[in-house]
Amino acid sequence: MERYEKQIIFGEIGVEGQKKLLNKKAIIIGCGALGTVIANNLTRSGVGYIKIVDRDYIELSNLQRQILFDEEDIKENLPKVIAAERKLRKINSEIKIEPLLTDVNSTNIEEICKGMDIILDATDNLQTRYLINDLSIKLNIPWIYGAVIGSSGMVHTIIPNETPCLRCMFPEIPTIGATETCDTAGVLNSITSIVASLESMEAIKILLDKKSTVIKGLQYIDIWTNDFEHIDMNIDENCIACGKNNFEFMNRSTEEAVYLCGKNSIQVNPMQKEISAENIVRRLKSLDIDVKQNAYFIKFDIEDVQITLFYDGRAIIKNTNDIKRATSLYARYIGN
């Protein structure tokens, strides 16, 4: 317990609280700017079991804000969850850390999240957040919403039927193009660490059963204009999700190809369980394509794009925002 001395001295936690944390399970969905800070905080705080899910590998432009990664990880071509796990184990070897290299979608979210005590949103897209919201209500697991853009960010804590859910606050997903994205507005590392730290604190309060202390409503922060605003929110009794238990996003079929915001990439996910890696590599080499391969994926450049193919059949096609082109490249070079 020595490593947790300073938070045990904090009266609201104490030895009992620390023991409680060591017996709790948290899942962090996304291992980017928010996810790395949250994982760092929860690991050092001694949350006993931390599952980290992410679909992506590390790139140089991530290092400005994704605190668990360094240049060595990029040289090694590591997926984010694998590099994060290595770092976190060095920080705290007494807790269990489970990395999961996958895309979270309607077909697997329930399996991935069941049994967890808290879900932390560290995603970069609304689609997944609405999916988390449905799942949270369905399985009665609290979740912490966090979002950042430019110099501003928001946090909200959702305890099913006790605080307003995401759809109580924003009943419908804004249409594509209606909101700014990291592609158009960028993001500062101070706001990602503030929002992620607020999310971590909210999670710990819930894990300690101190629900009365969580943020009530929406906490908005802009560190450039120095706005710290608290916006009251109410449960909507007619809410499709928490009022009527209609889980639209869980019932929605998953799109095979999606644009990855901030990456100028398309993810193609044919939802196959495995691929014939050997055959694919042989075929690419016979076309004189330079193929790099490691324990996690196959990577090659073709035309003006870079294709990273994971062993579950999912691919990230970089340097394009054209979904049709990406799926056709996938069909041509990987297979149908």
Tell me whether strands 265-268 and 291-293 are parallel, antiparallel or unpaired: unpaired
Task: Find the binder of Zn ion among 120, 159, 207, 239 (CB under 5 A).
Answer: 239
**Total of chain residues touching Zn ion, rule CB under 5 A:** 6
Asked whether the beta carbons of 59 and 67 are under 8 A apart, the reply is: no
DSSP 205-234: HHHTT-GGGSPPSEEEEETTTTEEEEE---
Nearer to Zn ion, 211 or 282 (CB): 211
Nearer to Zn ion, 34 or 168 (CB): 168
By CB atoms closer than 10 A (0-12, 13-18, 19+), residue 185 is: middle
* Closest alpha carbon to 267 in 54, 121, 38, 99: 54
Q: Which of residues 245-304 bind Zn ion (CB under 5 A)?
A: none
Contact stretch for Zn ion (CB under 5 A) within 23-31, 173-181, 231-239, 326-334: 231-239
Site string (164-183) toward Zn ion, x via CB under 5 A? -x-xx---------------
Site membership for Zn ion, residue 242 (CB under 5 A): yes
Q: How far is the CB of 201 from Zn ion (least distance, A)?
A: 23
Facing residues of 22 across strands? none
Nearer to Zn ion, 149 or 241 (CB): 241
Nearer to Zn ion, 92 or 163 (CB): 163
Contact stretch for Zn ion (CB under 5 A) within 147-155, 205-213, 242-250, 271-279: 242-250
Tell me how far apart the alpha carbons of residues 281 and 333 are, in angstroms, rounded to a whole number.
10
Tell me how far apart the alpha carbons of residues 82 and 102 are, in angstroms, rounded to a whole number.
12
Tell me how far apart the alpha carbons of residues 14 and 156 are, in angstroms, rounded to a whole number.
26
Contact stretch for Zn ion (CB under 5 A) within 87-95, 106-114, 117-125, 157-165: 157-165
Q: Which residues bind Zn ion (CB under 5 A)?
A: 165, 167-168, 239, 241-242
